[in-house]
Amino acid sequence: MHLRVNSVEIKTTEQIQRMRDVCRLAADTLCRVAEIVSPGITTNDIDRFVVAETQRLGARPAPLNYKGFPKATCTSVNEVICHGIPGPRVLKSGDIINVDITHLYKGYHGDTSATFYVGQPSASAMKVTEVSRRCLALGIAEVRPGARLGDIGAAIQQFAEGHGCSVVRDFVGHGIGTRFHAEPKVSHVGMRGRGIRLKPGMTFTIEPMINLGTHELTILDDDWTAVTLDGSLSAQFEHTILVTADGHEVLTARDRPLAHSELYPDYFEHAQVSPP
């Protein structure tokens, strides 16, 4: 029997090691995907590459056929917030694309994503992407034993809105392990001091979806693709996190920089802060 706190599984040392293993594989695949992102390729090309890389590692792509999802990865371009279905769309210079990868390996899931620049980005694309990247880092920094889930959402919301962006409410981070999606639900907006207390052994994703315009969205007729209601750009970054005895561990941490993503480390030193 698994130990649970507030319906959230507390993982054993052995389970944590299995999570480390699968998350390392997912992070490696994302790094390899980054190398092929360029104008002229299709989102289907990315999906086929993910399938091949996942299988090469001895894992399988968890999204494939999950609740009917038809592809191995989610590819969300420009105004697509999440759950974009790979297809014939050709990437062009100026696009941004989030690639969301989840591996299933020896019974455990590892989930990670990043937004990539295709060619030369616009100022708007840089803004939403870099705000989203920083929001993930700030959310992760809140994770420690005794903190509350609301602390994560509060940090993300304050930063995003302080830079004139909005935070998607309809989709959240989630517990992860032998199940792809489990408790707790990790909102990316919130109030400090609210929500369950974090305990060592909990594993969950943080994956803020940040829009340039309104946080409102609509779902396309394919019943999967979520797009911004006003057509504004959206960006997302995601890691799988472990609560440790003295803080946290980023299980999907990468061992090398992401090509076509980590291009502007000094962005906020020069950015103008827009009014919320």
Q: What is the pLDDT of residues 179-228, one digit of tens each?
A: 999 999 999 999 999 999 999 999 999 999 999 999 999 999 999 999 99
pLDDT exceeds 50 at position 276: no
pLDDT exceeds 80 at position 271: no
- pLDDT at position 269 is 82
* Nearest-angstrom CA–CA distance, 54 and 45: 14
Q: Note whether residue 274 is domain-resident.
A: no
Mean pLDDT of 26-37: 97
Q: Note whether residue 244 is domain-resident.
A: yes
Q: Note whether residue 89 is domain-resident.
A: yes
Q: Which pLDDT band, with edges at 50, 70 and 90, does 275 fall under?
A: very low
Which residue range forms the structural domain that includes residue 101?
3-265
Beta strand extents in the chain (DSSP E only) = 3-5, 8-10, 60-61, 74-77, 80-82, 96-105, 108-117, 166-167, 173-175, 182-186, 203-206, 209-211, 217-219, 226-228, 234-236, 239-243, 248-250
Per-residue pLDDT reduced to its tens digit, 128-141: 999 999 999 999 99
CATH label of the domain that carries residue 42: 3.90.230.10
Q: Note whether residue 271 is domain-resident.
A: no
Q: Note whether residue 273 is domain-resident.
A: no
Q: Considering its fold, how many domains does the chain have in total? A: 1
Q: Note whether residue 143 is domain-resident.
A: yes
Residue 202 has phi, psi (to 5 degrees) of -75, 140
- pLDDT at position 6 is 73
Mean pLDDT of 113-121: 97
Mean pLDDT of 143-166: 98
Q: Note whether residue 8 is domain-resident.
A: yes
Contact between 160 and 135 (Cβ < 8 Å):
yes
Q: Note whether residue 233 is domain-resident.
A: yes
- pLDDT at position 12 is 97
- pLDDT at position 2 is 62
pTM of the model: 0.95
